[in-house]
Amino acid sequence: MKLVTIIGARPQIIKAAALSRAIKTYYADHIQEIIVHTGQHYDDNMSQVFFDELGIPHPDYNLHVGSASHGVQTARMTEGIEEILLKEKPDFIVLYGDTNSTLAGAVAAAKIHVPIVHIEAGLRSFNKAMPEEINRIVCDHCSTLLFTPTKTGLENLKREGFPVDESGPSTLRQAQGPTTTVPTINNPKVYHCGDIMYDNSLYFSDIAEEKTDIIKRLSLNDKPYILATIHRDTNTDYPERLSAIFRSIIKLSEECQVVLPLHPRTAKLLKTNLDETLQKQIFSCQNIKLIPPVSFLEMIALERHALLVMTDSGGVQKEAYFFKKPCIILRPETEWVEIVETGNAVLADADEGRIMQAWQHFKGSPPTVFPEIFGDGHAAEFMLEKMLLANTNC
């Protein structure tokens, strides 16, 4: 069986590590993987370091798309991916998440009838103003095999016309359509499989402690700290929202050290979207550590040792939960509703009052119970087994 895997953004590179590792370990004689990097993230600190650090096979193709408007970027990727699919003739194209690379892969594959595997299917923020929401919906409805990490994702797909049975997370759930067992775009199959990022977090957790010295390097060994990440354009591109978040960080730094790896977008817009007074406060505060983007292993180490995580990243929200850390979410909604429902995360948006209220809540009553809602750490193997089964039946 031949797979073409599409990656383009940093989280997709990390997720792909779990699938590539499982292929190498368990299915090397049965599965060939062709990796296509769209170049959506082209900064070495945001991309190349992850291939080197996580042992991911280097891409067979790189489209070098780079930064552009949504339309231009997606069009370039669609054209390049279609050309590769026609050349390689894979059994499946594997798409992750909800980026422009995901959308481009879905459109290119669906038009020439290459079956689509969507990993992280069924996630919904119910906010179609988010480009990611459009991307994930389109990809789901173009897909042949849909792997959803949570029960909420399963219910979302059910509401959108993917009828499923209710017999358990490891059981095949087949959408309505022809009675044949062969999965197609008109007869897709849905699986609740657990989260592939949980696979990675378990696998790399101890490795991170051995291979990184970031805790020592930042002198964090004996000091409690808040780990913060800000990258979403709905926060960085709006001065009033970015200012509210950084005013909160300044207040938090009066009680606890704050470590903030700066995404390139955030670093650029700090100087244009914050007033000079706020900038001076941020850059002069000894209790705020502004650092360059970190590697995946460094991020895991920072998450494991943090007192609390504050983020607008969907992936970092989950990782905070994996490592049993409370999380303040800098968005009005989240696709990972379970972590809010369990009481281990709070939706604070870019609201200074709500951020500080969430901090006081977690400081006074830190969560101690983190139910197992993201699977058993073997999602990648499960997915590959189902792909092989589907390919055999075709």
Pair of tokens at residue 89:
């003739």
Residues 122 and 21 in one domain: yes
pLDDT of residue 236: 96
Residues 359 and 388 in one domain: no
Residue 282: what residue type?
I
Is residue 370 in some structural domain? no
Residues 219 and 191 in one domain: no
Residues 168 and 217 in one domain: no
Is residue 73 in some structural domain? yes
- pLDDT tens for 149-206 read 999 999 999 999 997 755 444 433 333 433 456 899 999 999 999 999 999 999 999 8
Is residue 94 in some structural domain? yes
Where are the extended beta strands (E) located within the chain?
A: 2-7, 32-37, 61-62, 92-96, 116-119, 145-148, 173-174, 189-192, 225-229, 257-261, 288-291, 308-311, 327-329, 345-347
The residue that leads in pLDDT, 40 or 212, is 212
Residue-number span of the structural domain to which 80 is assigned:
2-195+375-393
- pLDDT tens for 301-351 read 999 999 999 999 999 999 999 999 999 999 999 999 999 999 999 999 999
Residues 190 and 205 in one domain: no
Residues 76 and 176 in one domain: yes
> Total domain count for the chain?
2
Distance, in Å, from the CA atom of 329 to the CA atom of 362, rounded to the nearest integer, reads: 13
Residues 177 and 210 in one domain: no
pTM of the complete model beyond 0.75: yes
| CA dihedral over 75, 77, 83, 86, signed as positive or negative | negative
In CATH, what number is assigned to the domain containing residue 189?
3.40.50.2000
Catalytic residue chosen out of the listed positions 37, 41, 118, 231: 231
Residues 379 and 324 in one domain: no
Residues 262 and 172 in one domain: no
Could you give the C-alpha distances from 117 to 213, 238, 280, 388, in angstroms and in order? 37, 35, 48, 12
Residues 81 and 26 in one domain: yes
- Residues of the chain with pLDDT > 70, as a percent, come to 93
Residue 231 falls in the annotated catalytic set? yes
Residues 304 and 388 in one domain: no
Residues 108 and 223 in one domain: no
DSSP state string for 252-276 = HHTTSEEEEE--HHHHHHHHHHS-H
